[in-house]
Amino acid sequence: MSDAISAISGSSHLLGDDVDTDRIIAGKYTKTLDLGHLAEHLLEDYDPTLVGRIKSGDLLVAGENFGCGSSREQAPLAIKAAGVTCVLARSFARIFYRNAINIGLSVMEVPEHDIADGDEVSVNALAGSVTNETTGASYRATRLPAVMAEILAAGGLVPYLKNGGDYTVRE
């Protein structure tokens, strides 16, 4: 499996509950295939200064129901294009969660955490472990099903399938 999902670390940017896809990337910006343009407007209605503070490799940390709203793929694409390597949340809207995996953005459900804005966090998506390097606290994440971990490790669904990945239903 890929080191890209087993060794993630960066600064946290804390978000609240029920951050919907319209707040992640407003609909007026979704008429483009320019990922840089999407990244420039990430979460601007939520916090207009946030995108300027995100450094490549950083993580978003949210509460309940992250990515609710529409099924638009531009939401996880904008997050990934902005340099965010992983989104941690207490829970995700299912369609956002799957869209993120399909485009190769690491997402982890961490039901119990006390990560604060600016904390340094390290993640092993394969093991389902999260460590707050600032406080030393450790958290368990919901582990990804094997096929989803394989898709994520390949960089998304398209690369997974191009490399001969098996996308049949597994018991």
> Using CA atoms, how far apart are residues 100 and 80, in angstroms rounded to an integer?
9
- The one-digit pLDDT tens for each residue of the chain (171 residues) are 455 566 899 999 999 999 999 999 999 998 888 999 999 999 999 999 999 999 999 999 999 999 999 888 999 999 999 999 999 999 999 999 999 999 999 999 999 999 999 999 999 988 889 999 999 999 999 988 888 989 998 999 999 999 888 766 555
> pTM value?
0.92
Q: What are phi and psi of 81, to 5 degrees?
A: -65, -25
End-to-end CA distance of the chain: 21
Non-local (6+) Cβ contacts of 39 within 8 A are: 51, 78, 81, 82, 83
Q: Are strands 120-124 and 59-62 parallel, antiparallel or unpaired?
A: unpaired
- Give the domains, in start order, of the chain with CATH numbers: 3-162 (3.20.19.10)
Give how far the C-alpha of residue 121 lies from the chain's centroid of Cα atoms, to the nearest Å. 14
Tell me how long the chain is: 171
Tokens representing 85?
């390597």
